[in-house]
Chains A and B, each alone.
Chain A
């Protein structure tokens, strides 16, 4: 149910509804506005009833400026927030295959433009069907994680003098875990060294995929977002904690898994927990 300000003048509202219906419609490959209005009438004719022409531009050409600006602005924000995804497609293909259909389905409902892409990974999951879906989806998730962590709340200071083993903990909000079938983080770094235009003309960097890769993405104390490749056992340990296990239970889970993961845990568990506390990656659930 849409609620408007009770004092909105009806004539203003109808102009705004018409204006919004025009400027949010996709522009074509040459950035031209659609010539037929949503009503079915020629836009050049309909626009004249609302927009006054200038000495140099007709009414429809004047509103076209807003139609273009709407798309160029929002697409450029997606390019900034999804730098790997944009490089994988190039500007033109990104706009046509991803940006415009996504924004048509999910216009912004937040006052902050920085939230514009928050539903892009889930939109891709639902709508993207090409063979490279895994790569595309994970790229979008990682791009968005960088954006999300950049603005995440500062870590809650965790007093590590208490016995934390039996307590439920969580990853702090400036930390995320990834388990990947390829090394997408070094791939992303290689991509980001060059411009979008460069990659439309050049061969892509090598995507390392010799094994399963485990990463932790976090915002450093100096507020840069960094990634760190971690051991499988470390990832399982942190993932168990994130999913509600206590540290004790996470250790028991590693023991139950046995094999090389358990051996790894026996050797490194102390180091992992020390690093987690030093870097402030974990927080008591009661402090979240």
Chain B
């Protein structure tokens, strides 16, 4: 799969700075839903970005593991945006967040069972066929595990992407956050997933509350997460990497600087 280099998430807080600044960012990721709108500033900026950079779509509202039927009116809008952006792949989360029509606007975890693997994989296959672009699911940061779990997360995640023949949008910060919340060794995670299916990597910061760690995207990437990143890319080879930053924003240049630290790790663990 194509390696786009180092990217950052396109956020309204940076709209004014992006075109006034010299930077070495290779590509941008957009939250799909923020651009599935009728008009206005977001689409104006997206058009300008598309003139100069590759754009990859990342969604938050698919709710693939929800009990509700797949929402094809949503998928049609998503597909129309994918045609516009020419996204080389498209991702959302391995989660649920919708029930009986109500949206919780959160990435809620699923129980790790064989019947959930079958259910989600079927839906993932349908979604990828419908969208006609490679489709990837992202691992979550999670704060609960279920009494009914039959396997560790990495086995569940790997089984779904293999069964559905889709891809992994591997968030290495989420591996770290979940490893702290569920007390596992991050190495067990990335050594036991079908690494050849990783299409993109997310990096982000989090907040340590002592008893648990929260995925907040409002902080610098910590050393432990950079280390996981290095070890993962030593297995994947050169791969599109993206920094997510969603709160307590830094100026655009400083955000770029944090993302471009990834180059150091690509040298050290590659080199590539």
On A, residues with C-beta under 8 Å from B are 2-5, 7-9, 11-13, 15-17, 19-20, 23-24, 48-52, 54-57, 59, 61-63, 65-66, 69-70, 73-74, 77, 107-114, 116, 149-154, 173-174, 219, 223-224
Contacts and interface: CB of A to CB of B under 8 A. Distances in A.
B143 A62 contact: yes
A108 B67 contact: no
A210 B216 CA distance: 47
A247 B21 CA distance: 48
15 contacts: A2-B101, A3-B69, A9-B113, A11-B148, A12-B67, A12-B110, A20-B102, A23-B108, A51-B146, A56-B211, A70-B106, A109-B102, A112-B37, A154-B39, A224-B41
Contact of A20 (B36, B37, B104): B104
B212 A113 contact: no
A48 B210 CA distance: 22
B116 A12 contact: yes
Contact of B39 (A62, A63, A114, A151): A151
B43 to A, nearest CB: 8
Given A3-B69, A151-B39, 5 more contacts: A12-B111, A19-B108, A54-B212, A107-B103, A151-B42
Given A2-B100, A4-B68, A153 B119 contact: no
B181 interface: yes
A20 to B, nearest CB: 5
A16 B144 contact: no
Interface string B185-225: 00000000000000000000000001110100000000000
B214 A50 contact: no
A17 B111 CA distance: 13
Contact of B116 (A9, A51, A219): A9
B96 interface: yes
Contact of A7 (B103, B122, B143, B211): B122
Interface string B166-197: 00000000000000011100000000000000
B71 interface: yes
Give me the 4 closest cross-chain CB pairs, A-B, nearest first: A111-B61, A153-B38, A9-B115, A223-B41
Contacts of A77: 105
B44 interface: yes
B143 A65 contact: yes
B144 A63 contact: yes
A30 to B, nearest CB: 15
Nearest to B211: A56
Nearest to B215: A69
Contact of A152 (B40, B108, B145): B40
A251 B226 CA distance: 69
A52 B38 CA distance: 44
Nearest to B105: A113
Contacts of A55: 183
A50 B147 contact: yes
Contact of A56 (B39, B42, B123, B212): B212
A24 B168 CA distance: 30
Interface string B112-145: 0101100100110000000000000000000111
Contacts of B100: 2, 4
A198 B151 CA distance: 51
Contact of A66 (B38, B70, B108, B123): B108
Contact of B40 (A16, A54, A151): A151
Contacts of A23: 104, 106, 108
B76 to A, nearest CB: 12
A108 B38 CA distance: 20
Interface string B85-108: 000000000001011111111101
Nearest to A173: B38
